[in-house]
Amino acid sequence: MKIDFLSEAKAELDDAVDYYNLQDAGLGNTFKSIAKSTIKRIATFPTAWSIVRPNIRSCIMHKFPYNVLYSIEEDRILIIAIAHHHRYPNYWNNRVNS
């Protein structure tokens, strides 16, 4: 299934990679690799993860305090947010329609 990102979600991914690379050389690349494997799991088993809002699901990333929030659409999976666990809850709500 095709994977698309909202521009805000792509920016969150890029920002996290940059942040972790500043913390420790290569750590951002590890974050990106784990994010990619999380998204592959989502693509393989799109209905396996918790529903957090109608039509929105959340998959927890391994080793990092982030969730990948996504919706399953007719022809694609839409990544809505790469959300840090300690960020304001549901800050991403205004990105999607109910």
Kindly list the domain boundaries of the chain, sorted by start residue: 2-88
Q: Are 11 and 92 in contact (CB under 8 A)?
A: no
Q: Residue 97: pLDDT above 90?
A: no
Structure tokens that stand for 51 in this block: 């529903």
Residue 41, C-beta contacts closer than 8 angstroms, at least 6 positions apart: 48, 59
Architecture of domain 2-88: 2-Layer Sandwich (3.30)
Rounded to whole angstroms, how far apart are CA atoms 91 and 98? 14
List 79's β-bridge partners, or say none: 5, 70
Rounded to whole angstroms, how far apart are CA atoms 67 and 82? 6
Tens-digit pLDDT profile for residues 9-36: 999 999 999 999 999 999 999 999 999 9
Q: Residue 45: pLDDT above 60?
A: yes
Instruction: Write the CA distances from 37 to 34, 60, 63, 72, integer angstroms.
Output: 5, 11, 12, 18
